[in-house]
Amino acid sequence: MKDVAERADVSSSTVSFVLAGRSDMRIPDSTRQRVLDAARELNYRPNLMARGLRTKSSSTIGLVSNGIVTEPYASELIRGALTTAHEHQQLLVVIEAQNDRATERRLVQDLISRQVDGFIYATLLTGRVNVPRQLTGHPLVLLNCWSSARTAAILPDEVQGGAAAANALLAAGHRHGIFIVGETPAHLLPAEGRRAGVESALVQAGAELGGVIACRWWPESAFDAMTAFLQDHGPPQAVICMNDRVTFGVYQALAAAGVVVPDDVSLVSFDDSDLARWLRPQVTSVAMPYADMGRRAVEALLSTQPLKGPERVLMPLRERASIARFGS
């Protein structure tokens, strides 16, 4: 800064005001331009560590990931956060703890030592978490997880997503013989929310859920469960798969039994992963709004009005070719 001041023939304080973008100081435009030209000619870069000591802000956000970095699909959470941090002239530092508490404690302490301004704590699986004690007292937003009713958290709106899935079938005239495929235990937040949304939308339309074809959220289990159901009951009118991996197994079971999607069975799924677009016919799926969630986490962390409690982000429906009108 001293070199810039000498080149522009001004004081160091004038350089500081100009480079900080201060508009409340009476600095002539010609002087301001001279400072900017000198800074450019000297390739001036601010000392961020010194600035941080002075302003008590490092313009840095620490994102603590548990499993997200290793899962390409969920990495949209990070992309949304990165893009938004850049828009706000913030540096986002991402660390991956891989669900190891000792590693997590060490990495979090490293971020604290580097004086990051705040933290985003993100998980691959949606559910309740125990936040590292070191984060107590630091600005914090949870991403795709929650801790308590008072802790700022960004979550997908699973209930709304379940209603969107049911409404897609209702709009095509389906009222009966609608089955959920996949386990729906109360302790699994996505399953509980999605089922609640499905049942609520069906009841409001005067319809009802035919039942649940229970299986793990994995292709092999879904294949076995759907094969057994077809042998005992024949094809359902429509199915709502708890995720796209379940859909993959269901597609294989239906094809093996000579049942055609959507001519014989209409189908809607969740997650909108690459599988939903790769399968034929392509699958109507309720998307996880990962990029929007990452964006909202950064915005909430930087807001002058801190978020109090969970905020739920809408899950959009991606309509494709796996639903046919009933009776057509």
Banded model confidence at residue 66, pLDDT cuts 50, 70, 90: confident
Question: Any idea what the Cα angle at residue 8 is, between residues 14 and 45, rounded to 5°?
Answer: 75
Q: How far apart are CA 160 and CA 158, in angstroms?
A: 5
Q: What is the mean pLDDT of residues 107-130?
A: 91
Q: How far apart are CA 193 and CA 156, in angstroms?
A: 10
Q: Helices (DSSP H) in the chain: which residue ranges?
A: 2-8, 12-19, 29-41, 48-55, 76-87, 101-113, 158-171, 189-204, 219-233, 244-256, 274-278, 290-302
DSSP classification of residue 61: E
- Is 245's pLDDT higher than 90? yes
Q: At residue 107, what are phi and psi to the nearest 5 degrees?
A: -70, -40
The CA-to-CA distance between both ends of the chain, in Å, stands at 75
Q: How far apart are CA 253 and CA 283, in angstroms?
A: 16
Per-residue pLDDT of 132-148, as tens digits, reads 899 999 999 999 999 98
Question: What pLDDT is recorded for position 328?
Answer: 65
User: Mean pLDDT across the chain, nearest whole number?
Assistant: 91
Question: What pLDDT is recorded for position 53?
Answer: 46
Q: Name the one residue in this structure whose structure tokens are 């009222």.
A: 175
Question: What pLDDT is recorded for position 12?
Answer: 86
Collapsed DSSP state (helix, strand, coil) of residue 278: helix
Between 185 and 159, residue with greater pLDDT: 159
Cα dihedral 194, 197, 199, 202 in deg (nearest 10): -130
Q: For the chain, which domains are there?
A: 2-46 (1.10.260.40), 55-155+290-313 (3.40.50.2300), 158-288 (3.40.50.2300)
* Lowest mean pLDDT, pick from 59-63, 194-198, 248-252, 293-297: 59-63
Q: Show the tokens assigned to 167.
A: 């409404």
- Is 98's pLDDT higher than 50? yes
Collapsed DSSP state (helix, strand, coil) of residue 4: helix
Q: How far apart are CA 63 and CA 123, in angstroms?
A: 10
| % of residues, the chain, pLDDT over 70 | 96
